[in-house]
Structure formats: structure tokens, C-alpha cells
Structure 1
Amino acid sequence: MDEVSKTALGVARVRAGESERPDRLFDDPWAAKFCAAAPDLVPVGTRTPIALAFALQAIIRTRFYDDYLLDAGCPQVVLLGAGLDSRAYRLDWPSGTSLFEVDLPGVLAFKEKVLADAEPLCQRTVVPADLAQEWENPLLAAGFAPERPTAWLAEGLLAYLTPEEADRLLSTVTGLSAPDSRFSSERGDRAVQAEAAKTSTMNQYAQYWKGGLGRPVPEWLDEHGWRATGHDLGDVATGYGRPPGRPTTSGFATAIRRT
């Protein structure tokens, strides 16, 4: 996997640790398997305050997006920048759900090797594509049906795109979304990225960030045919029984495609 893709192993490491807790917010048995398959590539972190804060964010966002996808009630799901996401294998999907995972070929090849003996709990299709380039046609060729309501997820993705690339991606999502489709991603807080880049622990991730959309994601969505809602990380974490030990400035966006 390339350097950017290795950061997915950092998230897998956090998910594996959370899955071992008796009060875990989710159970991801494949996270540890991903790390074991590439031990030399797993980022090594230290327990600095900001590193712990970003680990909490990864844990909370995993559970938040789990709930979002299942509550969306859409027959079609697209994971943009799926990384080492194992939701196709661990969530209780409604019968007939079609799930597409879009990511770089190297990431998906590594993932397929680790999950070779696992059975997904939905109809799962992988779509090798570079989300900074053209990915609409590969998705359509894989069987995606734009006339069906879709739940889109861009987890931890937008920060790795330039403002132009992020705008193009969201525009493509909008063009492929039937009425009542859903979308969710991080809220797009530039101050969070700037803070992370100051520390050596987090710079192994932040050095690959390109700024993302450059404006709040809910604002963009509201202007382009969606009805968006912002969710503060601290409020969400407190709702899950994990109140953060310090003020938070990040969060999530969810949206419904207007008719």
C-alpha cells in the first residue's frame, strides 16, 4: 500500500483496541487481522493529549457512522475511501442491501487478501478507483443504480483531497443521488487539521492532508440540494457515554437529498 493508504492501518489499530474493551462501542474483529497482516506498516503512536483526542474521534466516528448507515434505511450504500472498513462483514444489514466499496486498487487488494475467508452480510462490490480522479464510471460499471436512494459515507476522506477535488467529489455524489439519499462525512474543521499538524505523533497522518473542502461541509450541502445537519463531536461522544476530557472543535455532517 502507498503511504496515504497506510494511515488506514492506524485507524484499524484504534478500532482493534476499542474492540477489546468490555464497554466497547463497536466490535470489529477484522481490525486486528488487518494490523497483523502488515505489522511493519502499522503507525506507532504515543499517548499525547492530541493523539488520544484523535483516537477518541476515530472511535466515536466509527460508531456514529455505523448508526447513520443502519438508520438511513437505503437499499444501496457507497463507502467512499472505504479503507479497511469492515462494515459489510459486521453490521446487521437489511435484506437486499447492496454495498459498494470505492478505494485505491492497492488498498482493496490488501483488504481482499485478509478477508478471503470471510462472508459479507450484504451484497458487497469493490470498485478500484482514485477518488481524486474520475470514479463515477467505474462505480456505474460495477452495478450502482443512481435511481435508487443511496447512503453515502466519506469517512476520513475529504481531508486527503484538495478543495477542488473535494468539491468535484461532492458534486459527483450529488449528481448520482436520487431523492431521499443520505450523505455523511466529517464536518470539515480546518482548525483541527492545523492543530494535528503541529505534533510529531499526528504528523504521520497530517502530512498527507490537502485541506479538504476548505469550508464547512454542511454549508456546501445546503447550497447544493441537500438538507444538512452538523453534529458536534463532544455531544455525540457524551451521548455514547464517552465524554471527552477536553473541549472539541470537530464533528460530523449528515444530510438528506431534497426532492
Structure 2
Amino acid sequence: MTRTDDDSWDLASSVGATATMVAAGRAMASAAADPLIDDPYAAPLVRAVGLEFFTRMLDGDLDLDTIPDASPERVQAMIDAMAVRTKFFDDYFTRATGGATGTGVRQAVILASGLDSRAYRLTWPAGTVVYEIDQPRVIEFKSTTLAGLGAEPTATRRTVAIDLREDWPAALAAAGFDPAQPTAWLAEGLLIYLPPEAQDRLFDQITELSAPGSTVATEYAPGIREFDAERAREMSAPLRAQGLDIDMGALVYAGERSHVMEYLQAKGWRVTGVPRDELFQRFGRPIPTVASEDPLGEIVYVSATLDGAGE
């Protein structure tokens, strides 16, 4: 499905299906023999979405021999990559809130929250409010599904059912967000699905809403500038043959855009970037030796703190 300025989706279509794909990766990583993460809600959420490809993947019923380059080594590298990505952002929230000491921020905002279950599975200090922003159908599906599972949030969870192209800061304020208090922001797996000007606007809005002491975490994909949509489409063709209709070449916005870390620094944030291979080493996972054909190249994981007043 080609992107338009007013497109929308559920968790089985368009950008929403990529959120289900990511949750499937978290489920696989959680089920590993030596798991780096524990997301008990990923698998039931994926099953509830009902995309056969992902349920077969969780059940071990996919015939990987029919998918080019789906060697055991490559599949394991993909699972490990999702594990280290998830662990990085889990640890980010633990640091931002002060962990067991409870000395950090008390409000968090998860942008384009998809099937993120951190409001349910992380240990949040008492008094923490977690805001989740996403399309109305996505928010409704996840809330209803988790309630049906008997899941209870471990923080005060407030949903903001709105598209990020609309006036989400006003909707966030209406949900009780306090811009005078420090905030931990998360934009995980989001930026490549935004046009370049929308990426800048997002960080402008975050900065405007952030009190000193706020933090933000996201990714920087340098390869998005030279992203080869046709090559990505070719690489995903075997998945479409298996019934998974995700065309990454049509979903992302390629081309020139602001360098994430430099843009945040110019806005007054103190920024740190960690390449993905370094995270593999940090978390005790072997750096993949299989040749990588990821059109986005090596991802850099970014965290930043606002020391002074926002611009």
C-alpha cells in the first residue's frame, strides 16, 4: 500500500503490519533459550492480530527453505537484533525513571506505540504516568486485547488516540500531560515512516514540550538517504509469496533528511549514539557474521538529555 498524506491503518495493514512484525520479533526473542528480554504480551498480541505469516512464524511452521537467504544464522541474527533493540529502549526507560531509586522522571510518552507493552511489563516507579500515542484503531485493539488477557498496567497508562500528523500535543495535554515536568520520550521504529519535514517537526514539538531533565530515545538510520525502494521490494517478494503483504519500499520515506543526532544537538539536547554492533557486544550477543543486505544499513541507537531550557 503506497503512502498518502491522509492514509490510516490497523495492525494488519500498511505501517500497522510492521508493528506486528516487530512484536513477532520480540515474541521470538523472548522465547529464546537464553532470552535477553521478556515480553509476555508480544505473542498473544500478534496472534490476536491474526496475520497467518506471523502466527506460523511463532508456531515454527514457516518453511524457511522457500525464503531466499533465510538461513538459520540470518534468522538468529534478526532475532538478536530485535532483542538488543528492545533491551536498549527498556534500559533507557529504567535509567530515565531512576529505576529502583525512583529519582527520575515520572511521565513517559511512547510515540506511535503500536504493540509496545512496556506500560504493562516494565517495573515503573510509583506515580509514573505512561502516555501512548497512536492511531485510534491501533490503540483500541491493543487496549481491548490486553484487557481480555487480564493484563494490568504497571504504571498509570493514558492513551492518546490520534495520528501524529494531527495536533497530538493538544491531545496529549488534554490527557493530562504536564510540560512543566521532565518527560522520557520514545520514538522507536518511527522515523523512517515520516517524511523528512515531519521528522524535524516531531523533534521541534518534543523540544517545545520538554522541561529541563527530559530525555528522548530513538534510532538513526543513515541508509534511509540512499534507500533503494526497488531492492527492498525485491527482498520482500518471497515474504509476499508466503502471504505477508508488506512492501517496505512503499512504506518508508527515503531521501535526504536531517541527521537525527545533529538536529537534536542543535535543539539543545546532549546526545549519545550507539551503533547496533556495539549493542550486540554490550549485551553479550555475537555480532552477525552473515553478510548484511539491510537496505537501511547499520542502525545507530540514540538517547539524549535536555539540560537547559528547550528552544
TM-score normalised over the length of structure 1: 0.91
Relative to structure 1, the CA distance from residue 132 to residue 218 in structure 2 (aligned partners, 3 Å threshold; closer, same or farther) is same
In structure 1, the partner of 2:151 is 118
Matched, 1:65 2:89: yes
In structure 1, the partner of 2:80 is 56
3-state SS in 1 of match to 2:158 = strand
Q: In the aligned structure 2, how far is the partner of 1:59 from the partner of 1:158?
A: 20
In structure 2, the partner of 1:234 is 277
- Equivalent residue for 1:163, pick from 173, 179, 196: 196
In structure 1, the partner of 2:160 is 127
Q: In the aligned structure 2, how far is the partner of 1:230 from the partner of 1:211?
A: 21
- Please tell me whether the aligned partners of residues 152 and 183 of structure 1 are also in contact (alpha carbons under 8 angstroms): yes
Work out the number of aligned pairs and report it.
259
Relative to structure 1, the CA distance from residue 233 to residue 168 in structure 2 (aligned partners, 3 Å threshold; closer, same or farther) is same
In structure 2, the partner of 1:4 is 15
Query: What do residues 140-159 of structure 1 show as CA deviations (whole Å, max 9, x unaligned)?
Result: 00000001110000000011
Matched, 1:106 2:137: yes
Could you tell me the percent identity over the aligned residues? 39
Q: In the aligned structure 2, how far is the partner of 1:89 from the partner of 1:135?
A: 23
Larger radius of gyration: 2
Relative to structure 1, the CA distance from residue 29 to residue 39 in structure 2 (aligned partners, 3 Å threshold; closer, same or farther) is same
3-state SS in 1 of match to 2:41 = helix
In structure 1, the partner of 2:248 is 205
> Is there any run of 5+ residues in structure 1 with no aligned partner, and where?
none
Matched, 1:150 2:150: no
Question: How far is the alpha carbon of 1:214 from its aligned partner?
Answer: 1.7
Question: How far is the alpha carbon of 1:4 from its aligned partner?
Answer: 1.2
In structure 2, the partner of 1:180 is 213
Question: How far is the alpha carbon of 1:199 from its aligned partner?
Answer: 1.5
What is the letter of the counterpart of residue 214 of structure 2? S
Relative to structure 1, the CA distance from residue 125 to residue 76 in structure 2 (aligned partners, 3 Å threshold; closer, same or farther) is same
Question: How far is the alpha carbon of 1:118 from its aligned partner?
Answer: 1.1
CA RMSD of aligned residues (A): 2.4
Question: How far is the alpha carbon of 1:206 from its aligned partner?
Answer: 4.3
- Equivalent residue for 2:298, pick from 206, 226, 249: 249
Higher mean C-alpha deviation, range 74-83 or range 201-210: 201-210
3-state SS in 2 of match to 1:115 = helix
> Is there any run of 5+ residues in structure 2 with no aligned partner, and where?
1-9, 58-63, 98-104, 240-245
Q: In the aligned structure 1, how far is the partner of 2:126 from the partner of 2:216?
A: 21
